[in-house]
Structure 1
């Protein structure tokens, strides 16, 4: 017996035992540490979320209070306009009164519909706003061909919706010359029972106070807040490059941040939330994650967000965790030293036994094991080794005989495969002198030998006979049954009978003494090479496919019982006619039932698509292309069934 090469001396059992115990203790420590750290993180996040929520909602309330105050004045003026006829001086007085009443309102106008205020004047919108740097109120009249306020959002939206609305923030170039938002309240005139839209009363709010309010928000050391409009545009942000130039969606698009896009949709939809973001544009610094709490302003549809850097949230927790890890590591190192000393004393008797076992492993089964007087597990181990040594000597002798027998069986199976495949036509093209047709077939067994079969031959000058079949089993029994079936079919078919008669005669022979109850599905047929007449008979096989003029169809063959089951089974011959250029394809279920790693079948539909794709390439190229497509589908998965394909192309009468 050849000896095994010496292996490097393994680590001592004492050290391994100590390391195992230490690893278990370390795992328990890390599990408790991880759980504690995770729960601490959650507690910190809950506290931060609560604080951010309170801060955000308090700020939102302050904003809403200002917004609500600004909404009252346009509503009051609009009510008066609907019930009272006011002169132009009265209109100006109403506007001035609105600005003097509410110091938060930057400007106001009463914008009328065309010719509603004056039949001779298309545009009429007196505007009053606060002066710059404490200057007196400034007056202006809005509306011209270059400033058509009828098409502007602050005028058009309340007109179309029939209710007051806040506009998106904008820079007012013609009125107040500042970044503002406008609250517009529609008013109507009642005439002859009809209520007609007459114009809007507005209140402009400068966003400077709102920016100052949001910029004053701080959370932890570097947390900050920002405000986005109903369209997602940044109204305020510490990064001035974003304000009124970018939206939360443009930032998400530029950075490819799908999560930020989802947060933006939630903010403009008027929802509240607490979520983690990783966007370097919005975050406190590039590469830092942050937590965002956001809440809506119900009156305007805007949304306020408070952003807190994650590193700041968990800084104290991480510092404490590092100290705990250092202390735990020191304790585990001390534990390792103690465990190593104890384990060495326990496992020393095993060293001598390990040395003898190593000698036995080199192939010297006559080596005597050292005596062990202890009656504990080590003594039992020594006795077990002795029993194993004796049993191993006997097993090796048996194994030599078994290996020789297996090698003989493998050799015989290879020979059987060669013999089986030699039964099948394998030289293509088989009839090079005939140009009325081309035929190609391929069989790939799932095991060393298989149960599929195919055959074809010329019965006479004008008739081509062909057959394909699938035995119910695999391996050697199926191969033997396949050989018998093929031989019977060829012997009977050479007599020139109808395909249905051939199946009946072969079925009768297979049923005799078929104690194993094996059966085979078969389709056989005969093609008249002169007229194109096709005669087919089916014995429980899947229907053949006909590729004709760029379309695939199933030939409707009459049903027939599988061969080898009932002696009195009867079969029917189906007659049809092939046209020049038609391609007849016969196959076994190993093709359509080939499965990939997810147990998805190749399927009849994919087979038909492959035929349509490669059908114009000829019979051989078609079969090889379909087989390649099946292998691509299975992607290296073990073959579960025999695969057989036969393609017959009819080209027409010989010229």
Structure 2
């Protein structure tokens, strides 16, 4: 049907349809990409918000824990009269505004022989401090969870939130610390010291969490009980599991299970009211509770939906305008085309040897296509070959760029890495020689006082090295979490890398574990460059380490653990061979001697400045020569722990 149509009609039809399809694809991709960007940005913001709020809670709860712990220590090591105990308890509550109330509950006959109950308790009211004796017959504190649980477990415990009828008479949670005494060489339980916090305070902190328009925060206990929630009827009356059971929501149950295991997470979530949302949650380390931030999905996408609607209207208007312009242009082109077709028909018959396929269309474009078919075929082949080559090159460059971004995203790059830890400072720098490389570093806490750090160099360059690097990095982190010694970690990593290693790739590794209290460093070396130690007086020297064997080369190789004690202000500097083997146009190496001199000159500088200045020195030394190997550096400075 289209063969007999005019050129103007065909141009209008084809351009309108193709433009519409292209705009539709562009709008769809833009909408998808915008959603991903918004979700990623929101996840990062939510994690930061949850982390900051958790830190705010811990900053108050951790000192609260210290109060009953210290008081328990006093009661274990000294004997006080009834008046002194009450006076001491009153001072404790007065001087700690975050504590709602505090008590010292003695075992029967411990404080005064023959006296079963003695439990002085001070708590806050609007009028000031009030005193109550929990040893009254109406309040049997021996049966209370805050007394029984620490007594049975033999250690400090946070209670589940509860309404303390007969005591503080408010919703609260109690931190209980048992204390002991010794008589006749035998240690026995003397009583329990408690500190109460009001859930009203927690509610104010959590309710201050705001995200989007109607996003809100939720605090749940270790058993999943809802402590704070915008809906008052849920507080202390529902658990996350009862809500999941009521709605038959398997995903909500799984989130609850991860919460009580103390895990963090981010993912889709359906609220109690049935509203589709996203949730980000993290544990409060001092209590084992979990803080969650919930934000509705429709609010997240409201702006982008409005933007896409506007863009769709603009696109439709653009297509209509384009159609109108095509009508004008096609009419101006079709007239001269007819004349040109007649003029070129004779030339085409004399100069083309290749048979021309029959052109069924009767318009001027068909005649022109018949005249120039040979040239058209050649041009199409050339363009097709060029397009394929260009697309292949762009695809490779795009994939390498994405691989670089992915590789860099799994390496920690935020410094200071642990701003709340004053015992040490750590800083690192990496510059791959290509889009992706084989060097990497990592650091993470194994437990509260032990930091594991590692620097490594995979053989070769490019994508294979990057994949091998990711595998090695993952294995190290997994093995380190098992609380193994450095040599055991390297041994297990080596065995895993040797398995099915048909490529023959290997990796040099230097791995250490820092005791942030004492400054002791346990380390093991797998064929890596020896690190340097920098003393407080600026003296730098290479650490004498067992060379070890590169990981991935020989299964069941036995590595050795070395020991180093960092004094306050001392620094451990680690690097890969891309630093010392950087070359200038004269093929001279940067060398270990030049590295040593620079470190001694920069010894009193902050770690970030040391790495930055060293990088500048390497760039200046190279004088524009291409980088032949990845450059990676990491510095660890011990600033002093409580046991140092």
TM-score after normalising by structure 2: 0.48
Larger radius of gyration: 1
TM-score after normalising by structure 1: 0.47
